[in-house]
């Protein structure tokens, strides 16, 4: 697989989002299968693996760490921290102490002495982004992280933070079904030479075309509360799947591959991190890196997308409801 740059970090054109191996989409694979799948991802060319302290209370980090420990110097690991227990108005040095403790715990689980990319999982609205950026600069100086990023950040938050400690990447939701960040965030990333890492680039699997209105979701499965998976919305969104299938047929590809090839065509600093728990799906996703859209094909897709209304979305507020079901 070819490489791309997130700031100064070189990573595979498509990364692997590892969350689903531990939580989020119903029954998870057993540990042996998950370890094998992460290593297969590497064998298929992936050098960029994404996890977070919040995924299964750290178990996902431990899984990634175990799978990659003997090839650690050949991959870039990204993880995330969430500040949900702090004193409003706290000093930057106290924030640094809290974040460093979280990072040390992540490093222990990941079996490493540094991570390539350390994201603030969500931007706290009552903590100045400048304070967080200063903390990240200190951790970079210490060699514990190579770069840092924000998740679900706005253009203003990105610019303010970047002025203190340059951001390596921004990880926001982005797909054919969620394009709100095209107007300001992605152009800001381009201007400031910041990588853009789309999570849920296949809209939680909807764009794969594998999910139908007859599919049922049980247990701790995010699709139970994501409104794009409500039956009426799935029916209303069929024109999008028809468009993907049309181009998939023309390119001897799959709908998922066309979805990923579309965003790869947009900018060379975009590195999506699809996640799947089946080897054939993971390999299919990576195969999108080899599908090149012509300018005419890309233009035709963009034109068709502009005529399609998307029904339903994915919000943090809806995901919080999953804990009460």
DSSP 314: -
Contact residues for 211 (Cβ-Cβ < 8 A; gap 6+) = 205, 223, 229, 234
DSSP 29: P
User: Contacts from 97-102 at CB under 8 Å and sequence distance 24+?
Assistant: 99/132, 99/135, 99/139, 100/139, 100/144, 102/53
* Active-site residue, from 16, 25, 55, 118: 55
Distances in Å between the Cα of 314 and the Cα atoms of 31, 82, 183, 266, 317 are: 28, 19, 19, 23, 9
Is 55 considered catalytic here?
A: yes
| 235-260 CB burial, b ≥16 within 10 A, e <16 | eebeebbebbeebbeebebbbbbbbb
CA 106 to chain centre: 18
Instruction: For residue 147, give the nearest of 157, 161, 159, 160 by alpha carbon.
Output: 161
Catalytic residues: 55
């Amino acid at each position: 697989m070819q490489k791309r740059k997130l700031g100064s970090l070189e990573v595979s054109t498509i990364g692997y989002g590892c969350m689903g191996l531990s939580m989020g989409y119903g029954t998870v694979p057993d540990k042996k299968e998950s370890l094998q799948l992460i290593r297969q991802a590497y064998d298929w060319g992936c050098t960029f693996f994404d996890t977070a302290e919040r995924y299964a209370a750290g178990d996902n980090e431990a899984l990634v760490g175990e799978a990659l420990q003997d090839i650690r110097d050949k991959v870039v690991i990204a993880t995330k921290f969430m500040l949900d227990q702090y004193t409003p108005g706290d000093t930057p040095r106290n924030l640094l102490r809290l974040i460093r403790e979280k990072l040390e715990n992540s490093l222990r689980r990941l079996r490493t002495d540094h991570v390539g990319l350390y994201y603030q999982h969500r931007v706290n609205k009552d903590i100045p982004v400048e304070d967080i950026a200063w903390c990240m600069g200190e951790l970079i100086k210490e060699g514990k992280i190579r770069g840092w990023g924000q998740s679900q950040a706005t253009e203003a938050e990105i610019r303010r933070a970047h002025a203190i400690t340059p951001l390596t990447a921004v990880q926001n939701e982005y797909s054919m079904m969620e394009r709100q960040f095209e107007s300001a965030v992605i152009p800001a990333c381009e201007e400031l030479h910041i990588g853009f890492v789309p999570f849920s680039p296949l809209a939680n699997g909807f764009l794969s075309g594998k999910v139908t209105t007859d599919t049922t979701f049980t247990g701790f499965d995010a699709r139970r509360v994501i409104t794009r998976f409500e039956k009426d919305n799935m029916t209303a969104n069929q024109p999008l799947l028809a468009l993907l299938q049309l181009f998939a047929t023309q390119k001897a590809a799959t709908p998922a591959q066309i979805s990923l090839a579309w965003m790869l065509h947009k900018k060379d600093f975009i590195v999506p991190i699809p996640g799947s728990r089946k080897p054939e799906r993971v390999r299919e996703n990576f195969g999108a890196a080899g599908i090149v859209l012509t300018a005419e094909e890309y233009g035709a897709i963009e034109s068709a997308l502009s005529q399609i209304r998307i029904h339903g979305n994915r919000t943090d507020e809806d995901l919080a409801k999953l804990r009460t079901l």
